[in-house]
Chains A and B, each alone.
Chain A
Amino acid sequence: MADPLAIAAATVRDRIGDRAGGWDLAGVLPLPLLRELGAAGVLCAQLPEAFGGLGLSSLQNGELTAATGRLCSSVRSVQTSQGMAAWTVQRFGLPEQQRAWLPDLASGRLAAVGFSETGAGSDLAAMATTVRRSGDELVVDGHKRWMTAARYADLLVVFGRYEDGAAAVLVPADAPGVHVEPVADPMGCRAAGHADVRLDGVRLPAGRLLGGSALPLPLLVTTALAYGRMSVAWGCVGILRACLEAASRHAATREQFGQPIGRHQLVAGHLADLLVAEQVATRVCEHASRCWDAGSAEQVIATVLAKQVASEQAARAAATAVQVLASAGARDGGVAARAYRDAKLMEIIEGSSELCRLLLADHALAVAPRGEEG
């Protein structure tokens, strides 16, 4: 039997091809492409087969995500959103909600997830979106910012305050009171369909509240984001691979002073740095994915670590790649120029570098040996 990861990766490679530069310049992805990728299950490939998914392990899904990110960070961002939506429904949904929504998410229905608001970025406790009960219905009010893939989504997974805690609700993008306003000219992942989403008194059946009851906001958000962080981290591995390949190919063929520029020591140093960055990010992502696949509690902190390391390595490496490619990499839409803009956003999305470092520091303090030294 054929390897499901190999098939999924071939689908991604075949559908994206060499078109990412054009999508970046146009600032939009073709909707039929996303529907096709969704129907092939590659946008949420970690979803178990029992729910209609491909059932890839975290490690396999990571390699698929890197393969996607290597070609196009905008498609990879849509993949992150879809995967995080499916993970949220799988993790928090009641069995009937899982049955009702998950097979659709693995067969072409597109989804986006909304956390951030104007006053609630890193400080998600300041979230102002509300979900309240009104008879047999739910009413949702709020304004989400920079929802990745919301421009393409059929279904919006919206986080808000509910009763004495919080909840995630499933909102059809065409429900009355939902207004999706695409963000004009995002700096990176330009075709990922970022949008601001206003929800004005949106009424939903009570069954759209995942899990059916209020949960603590930090637990809800931390759990949903964990998938997004793994996906972003692996997406950064893809960016790193694209940068390493483009810079090495150029340095091997472009000649100055009578030899390939890769033979000049200062340029060679850049190539070594790119290889180190790609390997460091890959290994830290592999470790986190193995923790997920083993069901180990260490997955929680390993995920934050992977996101932090991979995004910083990618941002630095993309700048290095532009430097090596020089004028050959300076045109917008090209591999290095896209990587440079896309990777920078990865240091901000799904928990900024600053926030991730605070979480890592909390962890260091929590596991510090107690008592006297020695």
Chain B
Amino acid sequence: MTAAANTNPGPLGPTDDETVQKELLRFLESRTRTSWLPDTDLFGDGGQSSLFAMELVVHLEKSFGISIRGANLRLENFRTVTVMTAMVRRLQQAAGAQHG
């Protein structure tokens, strides 16, 4: 494996807030057949299930080349597109800093 492959940030990253947000809204719309606002509570008003939370974890990890572990898996981090975007950016930056 090459050094470049080791630091592969995923198909869409590293990227900016707007790209992450757009991709998340696209995924949510295709998955739920409903359009969402960046600040809609997916698990409260949106009524989404724990299976859906797991789909989000898998999708975020794959799309943005991040690994979501420990306290980051708390539901607060998945509640809205805005907070998911913030988490993705934070984890991407942390991974980037680690790899140099």
Q: A215 to B48: give the CA distance in the assembly, Å.
A: 17
CB pair B58 A300 closer than 8 Å: yes
CB pair A296 B33 closer than 8 Å: no
Q: A297 to B61: give the CA distance in the assembly, Å.
A: 10
CB pair B52 A366 closer than 8 Å: yes
B49 → A minimal CB distance (Å): 6
CB pair A211 B32 closer than 8 Å: no
Among B27, B51, B70, the residue within 8 A (CB) of A359 is: B51
Among A94, A219, A294, the residue within 8 A (CB) of B70 is: A94
CB pair B51 A213 closer than 8 Å: no
Asked whether any CB of chain A lies closer than 8 Å to the CB of B59, the reply is yes
Asked whether any CB of chain B lies closer than 8 Å to the CB of A118, the reply is no
Query: Chain A interface: which size bin?
Result: 20 to 34
CB pair A300 B74 closer than 8 Å: no
CB pair B50 A297 closer than 8 Å: no
Q: Which residue of A lies closest to B62 (CB)?
A: A295
CB pair B58 A219 closer than 8 Å: no
Write out the residue numbers on chain A whose beta carbons fall within 8 Å of the beta carbon of B56.
297
Write out the residue numbers on chain A whose beta carbons fall within 8 Å of the beta carbon of B75.
216, 219
Write out the residue numbers on chain B whose beta carbons fall within 8 Å of the beta carbon of A300.
51-52, 54-55, 58
Among A94, A299, A362, the residue within 8 A (CB) of B49 is: A362
Write out the residue numbers on chain B whose beta carbons fall within 8 Å of the beta carbon of A359.
51
Query: Chain B interface: which size bin?
Result: 20 to 34
Write out the residue numbers on chain A whose beta carbons fall within 8 Å of the beta carbon of B48.
366
Write out the residue numbers on chain A whose beta carbons fall within 8 Å of the beta carbon of B74.
165, 213-216
Beyond A211-B73, A216-B75, A367-B33, whether A296 also contacts B51 by CB under 8 A is no
Asked whether any CB of chain A lies closer than 8 Å to the CB of B53, the reply is yes
Q: A179 to B57: give the CA distance in the assembly, Å.
A: 36
CB pair B70 A222 closer than 8 Å: no
Question: Which B residues, 47 to 100, have Cβ-Cβ distances below 8 Å to chain A?
Answer: 48-59, 61-62, 69-71, 73-75
Asked whether any CB of chain B lies closer than 8 Å to the CB of A304, the reply is yes
Beyond A211-B73, A212-B71, A297-B59, whether A370 also contacts B33 by CB under 8 A is yes
B interface, by DSSP: helix, strand, loop or mixed? helix
Q: Which residue of A lies closest to B47 (CB)?
A: A366
Write out the residue numbers on chain B whose beta carbons fall within 8 Å of the beta carbon of A221.
50
Q: A295 to B63: give the CA distance in the assembly, Å.
A: 9
A interface, by DSSP: helix, strand, loop or mixed? helix
Asked whether any CB of chain B lies closer than 8 Å to the CB of A258, the reply is no
Asked whether any CB of chain B lies closer than 8 Å to the CB of A223, the reply is yes
Asked whether any CB of chain A lies closer than 8 Å to the CB of B31, the reply is yes
CB pair A297 B32 closer than 8 Å: no
B34 → A minimal CB distance (Å): 6
A359 → B minimal CB distance (Å): 6
Q: A216 to B31: give the CA distance in the assembly, Å.
A: 22
Q: A257 to B75: give the CA distance in the assembly, Å.
A: 67
CB pair B51 A362 closer than 8 Å: yes
A305 → B minimal CB distance (Å): 12
CB pair A368 B51 closer than 8 Å: no
Interface residues of B, Cβ cutoff 8 Å to A: 27, 31-34, 48-59, 61-62, 69-71, 73-75
Pick 28 A–B contacts, CB within 8 A, sort by A.
A211-B71, A215-B74, A216-B75, A218-B50, A219-B54, A219-B73, A221-B50, A222-B50, A222-B53, A222-B54, A223-B57, A226-B54, A295-B61, A297-B27, A297-B56, A297-B59, A297-B62, A300-B51, A300-B54, A300-B58, A301-B55, A362-B49, A366-B31, A366-B32, A366-B48, A366-B49, A366-B52, A367-B33
Interface residues of A, Cβ cutoff 8 Å to B: 92-94, 165, 211-216, 218-219, 221-223, 226, 294-301, 304, 359, 362-363, 366-370
Minimum-distance CB pairs A-B, first 10 = A218-B50, A295-B62, A297-B59, A297-B55, A213-B71, A211-B70, A300-B55, A297-B58, A216-B75, A222-B50
